[in-house]
Chains A and B, each alone.
Chain A
């Protein structure tokens, strides 16, 4: 009986550090990692709220703990990652939302710009409340 020859296939293994091969892979890996720092900021915010609720002494202790070098460094790194998270998220929005006004396609920058503007406005108001208010 004649059998059809099936050549073997070779599947090249994926290296562990595949995400270092291209810039887009690296940015993707950083973006995924940024979720951990978003979670850290939420935990930090909850600890802050709990400290405020526990009274002035507990709040003072929380502020002193927040000023320790490792917490400052962690929060600085977390700020960079959260910024990356927000920027990459905003830049994806025009990909998902295609707006047309009477047949004219709204340019992607018009969809993204209000997001950034709102971010700046809310951040400014929050900073004014915390620092100056």
Chain B
């Protein structure tokens, strides 16, 4: 919810921090309000699924080969993006989402990067079309409010900027390699 105009987790916000008050409570901004403090989050739920937020394998190793091993360094690449709790405070803080509801938003991009950077995943190509679309990372205008309100230190702004670099690099490669094969 919004507490004195700031997106906050209601369960982790203490009245003592706002003493002597007053405290103004509102429904989460940038979402359609159903009633009182209840907002409609269907749009974000749909967008989270659009980015294929699961491990995608082109080739599964046989069961007898055991689990997919991962070094601590490989885990460190994506671990902070896996801490998202889908609280949607980032969507509430994001002016790009407020002004352009088609934007897939910080949490969706962060969770997509969580899987893109996972060494076990082979699905980055599958996510590229959604992330590189105009309503994907390129709708972000680098305000950074998403990172500052995130209660779990996910840094969605960092995920978005990193993917912008990836997307631009891939676009350049596609341009150069396609020209080379003509």
| A contact residues vs B (CB 8 Å cutoff) | 7, 9-12, 14, 18-19, 21-22, 24-25, 28, 32, 92, 95-98, 100, 103, 105
How many residue pairs, one in A and one in B, have C-beta atoms under 8 Å apart? 50
Q: How many Å from the CB of B129 to the closest CB on chain A?
A: 21
Known pairs A9-B33, A24-B144, A103-B73; A96 contacts B164 (CB<8 A): yes
Chain B residues 1 to 54 lying within 8 A of chain A, measured CB to CB, are 5, 29, 32-35, 40
Contact present for A19 and B33 (CB under 8 Å): no
Q: Is B157 an interface residue (CB 8 A)?
A: yes
Contact present for B29 and A12 (CB under 8 Å): yes
- 20 A-B Cβ contacts within 8 A? A9-B34, A10-B32, A12-B29, A14-B99, A18-B95, A18-B98, A19-B95, A24-B145, A25-B95, A25-B143, A28-B143, A28-B144, A92-B142, A92-B161, A95-B158, A95-B162, A96-B164, A100-B73, A103-B71, A105-B76
Question: Complex formed: what's the CA distance from A11 to B39 in Å?
Answer: 10
New A-B contacts (17) at CB < 8 Å, excluding given A9-B32, A14-B98, A24-B144: A7-B34, A9-B34, A9-B40, A10-B32, A18-B98, A22-B93, A24-B145, A25-B95, A25-B143, A28-B141, A28-B143, A92-B142, A95-B158, A95-B161, A96-B162, A96-B164, A105-B76
**For A10, what are the chain B residues with a Cβ–Cβ distance below 8 Å?**
32-33
Question: Complex formed: what's the CA distance from A10 to B32 in Å?
Answer: 5
Q: How many Å from the CB of A84 to the closest CB on chain B?
A: 14
Classify chain B's interface size.
Answer: 20 to 34
**For A24, what are the chain B residues with a Cβ–Cβ distance below 8 Å?**
143-145, 148
Q: Which residue of A lies closest to B71 (CB)?
A: A103
Question: Complex formed: what's the CA distance from A7 to B5 in Å?
Answer: 25
**For B143, what are the chain A residues with a Cβ–Cβ distance below 8 Å?**
24-25, 28
**For B158, what are the chain A residues with a Cβ–Cβ distance below 8 Å?**
95
B145 interface neighbour in A12, A25, A95, A105, Cβ under 8 Å: A25
Contact present for B32 and A96 (CB under 8 Å): no
**For A21, what are the chain B residues with a Cβ–Cβ distance below 8 Å?**
5
Q: How many Å from the CB of A63 to the closest CB on chain B?
A: 38
**For B29, what are the chain A residues with a Cβ–Cβ distance below 8 Å?**
12
Question: Complex formed: what's the CA distance from A99 to B134 in Å?
Answer: 27
Question: Complex formed: what's the CA distance from A25 to B34 in Å?
Answer: 27
Known pairs A9-B34, A28-B141; A98 contacts B73 (CB<8 A): no
**For B5, what are the chain A residues with a Cβ–Cβ distance below 8 Å?**
21
Contact present for B33 and A12 (CB under 8 Å): yes
Q: Which 10 A-B pairs have the closest CB atoms?
A: A9-B32, A96-B161, A95-B161, A103-B73, A28-B143, A10-B33, A96-B165, A95-B158, A24-B145, A11-B32
Q: Which residue of B lies closest to A19 (CB)?
A: B95
